[in-house]
Structure formats: C-alpha cells, structure tokens
C-alpha cells in the first residue's frame, strides 16, 4: 500500500527561478506543487486581459489547478514563482495509483480537501461582506510576513482592488495608528 507522506518524503526537490512559469492556462496538468522554500502564486487572466491572483503559496503550502487535475482538462489557472523557490512536484494519483493508496492516505486527503473548502468559504464570505481595508488586514493574518515579500500589486490583485487602492488603504491604516 502506498502512503502519502512517504510519497512526499521520497520526492526530489526541484529548484525554480523567480519568474519561472510552471503552468499556463490551457496546459494539461496532472501534478500539484508542494512548496519547500520560496513562494509560488496562481492567477487567471480575465477576458479583459487583467490578472487576478487566486492564491499565494509560501513555504509548506500546496498549489495546483484543481480544474485541470480533476477533469484531466486544460488548466484555467497560471502558476509561476514569485521568488526563487524549491518545490516538490507530486503527480496526481491516477485511477490506478489512487486506488493503490491506503485508506489512511485517503482519509488524510479528505481532511486536507475539507480544510481547503473551509478557507475558500472564508474568502468568499469576506469578498461578499468586507471592505477593502478589512480584507487587507485579514490577508495580513492569513499570510504573516508575506506582505513584505510579495509586490503590492499582486496583493492588490488578490484582494480584488487596484494597486492604487491598496496604496491608499495602507496609508489610511498608518494614519489610524
């Protein structure tokens, strides 16, 4: 029987340069990326050509295009490196290897997926009910220190506001203190 954490342990670390693209919209992908060091991000380009950061993945986060993974279809998201990074590339368990996983691992996957659903749920509720300022302070909690590592325009994009907007929110927060 195969075991998830043993897969992770035995996977080789790959070194990625800042700016390197790991997945482009339209690609087929059967892998997800486990970040050991550095930081990746996933994003889409909308029909007006605008970039929207969907997720950041600093140390110990996992990132992938669920759509592509699931359906074996073309990826919606793009994934690239924001910093020089070290990652482990995990091939999606195929029908075969998935069935080959032990029950322990399946349960573990279930838990992780539920956690993910949870965080997505929180983000939606936030987008529905919080102002730009509230979302930014929430971001600071979710990703500690990341604000210092990532360009502000990407954070703005993640929050659903413009870089100028974020600049003003930050100014306002400083003023309040």
Partner DNA sequence: CGAGCGCTTGATTGAGTTCAAAAATCGTGG
Partner DNA sequence: CCACGATTTTTGAACTCAATCAAGCGCTCG
Residues that bind DNA in the complex, under the rule CB under 7 A: 131-133, 151-153, 160-171
- Piece in contact with a second copy (CB under 8 A), picked from 9-17, 27-35, 40-48, 81-89: 40-48
CA 54, CA 74: separation in Å to the nearest integer? Answer: 17
**Applying CB under 8 A, what is the total number of residues that bind a second copy?**
36
Please spell the DSSP secondary structure of 69-126, one letter per residue.
HHHS-B-SSEEEESS-EEEEEEEPPPHHHHHHB-HHHHHHHHHHHHHHHHHHHHHHHH
- Piece in contact with a second copy (CB under 8 A), picked from 20-28, 29-37, 119-127, 142-150: 119-127
CA 86, CA 153: separation in Å to the nearest integer? Answer: 24
- In the 8-state DSSP scheme, what is residue 142? H
C-beta closer to a second copy: residue 83 or 108: 108
Own/partner pairs for 5-8, CB < 8 Å, 24+ apart? Answer: 5/108, 7/90, 8/34, 8/88, 8/90
Residue 152 binds which of a second copy, DNA, none (CB < 5-8 A, kind-dependent): DNA
CB of 11 to a second copy, least distance (A): 20
Residue 124 binds which of a second copy, DNA, none (CB < 5-8 A, kind-dependent): a second copy
Classify 145 as helix, strand or coil. Answer: coil
Residues forming contacts to a second copy in the complex (CB under 8 A) are: 44, 46, 48, 50, 52, 54, 66-67, 69-70, 76, 98-99, 103, 106-107, 109-111, 113-118, 120-121, 123-125, 127-130, 157, 160
């Amino acid at each position: 029987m195969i075991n998830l954490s043993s897969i992770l342990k035995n996977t080789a670390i790959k070194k990625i340069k800042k700016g390197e693209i790991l997945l482009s919209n339209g690609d087929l992908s059967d892998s997800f990326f486990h970040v050991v060091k550095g930081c990746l991000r996933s994003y889409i380009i909308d029909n007006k050509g605008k970039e929207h950061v969907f997720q950041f993945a600093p140390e110990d986060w996992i990132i992938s295009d669920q759509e592509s993974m699931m359906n074996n279809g073309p990826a919606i998201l793009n994934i690239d490196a924001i910093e020089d990074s070290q990652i482990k590339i995990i091939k999606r368990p195929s029908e075969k290897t998935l069935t080959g996983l032990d029950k322990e691992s399946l349960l573990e996957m279930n838990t992780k997926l539920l956690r993910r659903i949870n965080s997505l749920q929180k983000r939606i509720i936030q987008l529905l009910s919080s102002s730009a300022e509230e979302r930014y302070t929430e971001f600071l909690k979710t990703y500690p220190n990341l604000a210092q590592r990532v360009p502000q325009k990407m954070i703005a994009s993640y929050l659903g506001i413009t870089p100028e907007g974020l600049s003003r929110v930050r100014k306002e927060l400083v003023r309040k203190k």
